Amino acid sequence: MTDTPSPAPTELPRMGPPPFVFSPQGGRVEGPAFPVLVKVLAVLMVGGCGAWLAQLWITDQPVLHSRSAGVWFLAAQAMISCTAWFIVRSRTRLDSQGLHQNWVGDKIMPLADLAFAKLIRVRGLEWLIAPRLYVRTLSGKFAVFYVASPAVRTECERLIAELASFRRL
């Protein structure tokens, strides 16, 4: 019995519509996910709640006398601190491969499978309310990316226009 080489696997033809291709000007654009004011407010909220908790502790308020009450206060402080940390550190990136946002769980959406994209924003209040880029794939998976950077927002608007034109064909 002789070993004959098996034929090379052939790639199956791609089913469905062709993949969407997009490249931002400069190849890659990245910026903060949230506006500066939102970051400042998040940090102030964490600091204010921490100061309030410390004041309750120092003045020996009855609300903290039971062990479970203290644990609940500390748990709440930890949760808002963690959320504020991610608000301050979160960045959104758009490159030729896809959309990326680092968050509690990083969000990644490949561009090739995009079926729909829409920018949701309150014009004139972008400094306060971060615009959101809603995207959906051909299979129905969706994600929302925060886009506070004007440069990233401009490229997202280009992406939306090109995707709408591409999917209409």
Q: What is the pTM of this model?
A: 0.80
Please count the helices (runs of H) and the strands (runs of E) in the chain. 3, 7
pLDDT of the residue at 120: 96
Listed residue (54, 59, 58, 88) closest to 74, CA to CA: 54
The domains of the chain are located at 29-168
What is the architecture of the domain spanning 29-168?
Answer: Roll (2.30)
For 38-95, the pLDDT digits (tens) are: 999 999 999 999 999 888 888 877 776 677 777 888 899 999 999 999 999 999 999 9
